[in-house]
């Protein structure tokens, strides 16, 4: 069984960070590089929700092309 903290694709971290920053900008949350523990739960939830929304849109677009 693989260690869940170990990344299978190390390059994915940078892509995920860019994706998170893009989603934060779209919902008006100012993220900074590194620690963002000063965000409210509402702000963090907005960023996470936007990320999920964008991932669902990407999957739906991919399915429409098949």
* Residues 5-18, mean pLDDT to the nearest whole number: 82
* Residues 34-57, mean pLDDT to the nearest whole number: 96
Reported pTM: 0.77
Confidence band for 13, pLDDT divided at 50, 70 and 90: confident
pLDDT at 37 over 80: yes
- More confident: 8 or 27: 27
d(CA 29, CA 18): 14
Residue 10: the pLDDT is 78
d(CA 51, CA 24): 8
């Amino acid at each position: 069984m693989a260690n869940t903290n170990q990344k299978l694709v190390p390059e994915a971290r940078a892509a995920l960070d860019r994706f998170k920053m893009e989603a934060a900008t779209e919902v008006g949350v100012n993220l900074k590089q590194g620690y963002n523990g000063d965000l409210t739960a509402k702000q963090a939830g907005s960023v996470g929700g936007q990320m999920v929304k964008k991932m669902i849109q990407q999957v739906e677009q991919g399915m429409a092309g098949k």
